Amino acid sequence: MARDRLMAIVTGFLGAFLAVLSGFLPVHQDTSEIHWTPGEDYTSVTAPLVSGRPLDLTITAPCDALAEVDDGTRVFSTLPEGAPGRISDGLVVQRSRTAADTPVLEVVVRNLTLLSVPVSQLRDPACETLRVRAETGILVAELTGMDADPDTRAAVPGAMRPQVTGVYTDLTATTAPDGMAAATVDVTVDARYSSSPTLLKIVLMVIGVIATVASVFYLHRLDAIDGRRDRRFVPRSWKRLSPVDGVVIAVLGFWHLVGANTSDDGYLLTMARAAGPSGYMANYYRWLGSPESPVGWYYEILRVFAEVSTASPWMRLPTLACGILAWLIISREVVPRLGRLARRWYRPRWTGAALFLAFWMAFNNGLRPEPVIALGALLTWSLVERAIATRRLVPGVAAIGVAAFSLGAGPTGLMCVAALAAGSREYLRSLRRRARVIGWAPILGPVLAVGLALLYTVFADQTVSAVLEATRIRTELGPSLPWYGEKDRWVALFGVSADGGVARRFPVLLMLMCLALVIAVMLRRGTVPGAAAGPSRRLVGVIAGSLLLLVFTPTKWTHHFGVFAGLAGALAVLAVIALRSSSVSLSRSRWLVGAALCLVVGLSTATDNTWWYVSDYGIPFSSSFPAIGGVQVNYAAFIAALVCVLVAGLIHTGVLPDSPGEIVTRRLARVLPFLRRAPDTPAAR
């Protein structure tokens, strides 16, 4: 045991140290420059920059040659003719005339006329060259050789560097005046993010990863000192597929081919395609080409897939894999963990599958990271439950690693903190018990190494300074909403748009209904009868905590609800078991549950059945509320909810006896399976 303790300490703290050090290790910085001269044919050059704006730009041209350029000629520009924002975003040097019909040479940068020089002044023998210099912090245009005054020199402080997609000119070999061949344009490309790891960095990161894996191995050996036999990491039951497994996998596969995608698939696909030539995953769409770091390792998978093919079914294979794996975890790990009734009664499993598919089909069939985070949150909670049930340390350490990588996939991965916090008391008890035997150092080393392993992906080819700069850009440009802006997400969910369509609104409201039902039963009975007490309470805590942690995400879009797909499926299993409780088995209570379900249906259908972009083509009721026979579904559902509440009130006050209500409930149970009671047998208890 002494050797295992020592190795766990050494490898654990070594892995953690190298993970932190990875951000400070040297990288190869690519430097790129563009040097343009007219040559013999004055050919324009197209060179779009990933970063949009260069580090610096210098233009020089002889005064005497500029004086002979024809009126209306674009001498130089950084954006092509007809491009949107050519004047507002780019730089243009052109011949024009003033209102007084005086010929002038203008230098216009981002809608600012920096210099307007009369042609007569260009013919002054003292005028040597026009020089325009744009760099960080200042923009200068001047006529060299002449005395500095407002007519010959202008300087503007601040970030005034123009957007550059190339060097363009209207001049040709026949129209260019003599001497213009001496003109030059020099551009230093902003390639701060185009870097690659040095050999030293690669070697140290490989050593760090090996040390991290070794620390977990030695912690596993220390786990076995109690003499108990280890459980299989993947139980044999995973190999057997049940009918519900087949249905879920078939639906996921079918929806993968014909289902709707997410709103961000287009620009994520373009980012993945551009990542190969640029050398890094640049977010050109919103953050000026800064990398998707520190949260964005998942996009590197898209980058690899895009190198093979950009076909939609191929690019979304990771999403399909996450969906299948998430359901298998629910079916193989979560359902058995919730107790014998969940294992032996088929209705909870089918209900969980239905809510899981409702979430997945509405939110998680695209390229966004929500499928990965949904899988990560579910896996984190499952590993915490296994650590508590087996009193082993390694599953808990694995849960910490999964939580870290889930957070690295996107800000909504913060919900994994709720999964860790829900089981922290029991897991810390196991840590203290084991620490009395082996000490704290052999435990803390692997925990730190695994928790910090995400840094190897963050700083794989970047440095701390580059990541901090990318973070600064994202924070300043936004969107970066405060915690109290969370209401915007719910306003969008209840708005009439693709963000609040029927398909998105229904699973979220149904999850909230299940959560309220389970909490009500727990408050009345202390636990859900028929379900394991500990896992049930922790599941409720995870979902409630995740909803709370959503307020700290910087953006407030409804597609973030897709991260609840796995946990919502598990909650639906628990809700069906809660319906069997005597607290809900009363006729009055069942009528109230029916009212709640009708209310969910009514609220969900009080909007258009709209989807994003091309996914909305040919969809029924895409521009109107769903209706049957000319009657809106939401009206009928609200009336049904009111009737259910009225009947429940009459039963509660004694106006109606329980028996008529029970008869009606039995008849409803033939249509609504969730109202049916489970057989009260010893096997179900």
Question: How confident is the model over 101-137, as pLDDT tens digits?
Answer: 788 888 888 888 888 888 888 888 888 888 999 888 8
Q: Can you tell me the distance from the alpha carbon of 128 to that of 144, in angstroms, rounded to the nearest whole number? A: 6
Closest CA to 118 of 96, 133, 139, 140: 96
Q: Can you tell me the distance from the alpha carbon of 621 to that of 196, in angstroms, rounded to the nearest whole number? A: 51
Query: Domain spanning 34-188: which CATH class is it, in words?
Result: mainly beta
Q: Can you tell me the distance from the alpha carbon of 255 to that of 251, in angstroms, rounded to the nearest whole number? A: 6
Cα–Cα distances in angstroms (integers) from residue 262 to residues 218, 283, 314, 350, 461, in the given order: 43, 17, 15, 26, 29
pLDDT score of 685? 46
- Residue 277 carries which DSSP code? H
Closest CA to 354 of 649, 573, 539, 500: 573
Q: Can you tell me the distance from the alpha carbon of 159 to that of 109, in angstroms, rounded to the nearest whole number? A: 11
Residues 421-452 as b or e (16 or more Cβ within 10 Å = b): ebbeebbeebbeebbeebeeebbbbbbbbbbb
The answer to whether 47 and 164 are in contact (CB under 8 A) is yes
The answer to whether 476 and 544 are in contact (CB under 8 A) is no
Gyration radius of the chain over CA positions:
32
List strand residue ranges (DSSP E) for 98-210, in order: 103-109, 112-118, 129-135, 138-144, 153-157, 166-167, 184-188, 195-197
What is the number of other CB atoms lying within 10 angstroms of the CB of residue 318? 17
Instruction: Report the Cα 526 to chain-centroid distance in Å.
Output: 37
Residue ranges, the chain, pLDDT below 50: 681-685
Provide the token pair at 582. 């005597």
Q: 61: which strand partners?
A: 130
Peptide bond into 535 cis (omega under 30): no
pLDDT score of 564? 95
* Dihedral sign computed on CA atoms, order 108, 114, 116, 119: negative
pLDDT score of 666? 67
What is the number of other CB atoms lying within 10 angstroms of the CB of residue 639? 12
Domain boundaries for CATH 2.60.120.610 within the chain? 34-188
- Angle (CA) 497-501-505 rounded to 5° is 130
Inter-helix orientation angle 199-223/441-451, to 10°: 130
β 56-62/45-46 pair status: unpaired
* Dihedral sign computed on CA atoms, order 610, 614, 615, 619: positive
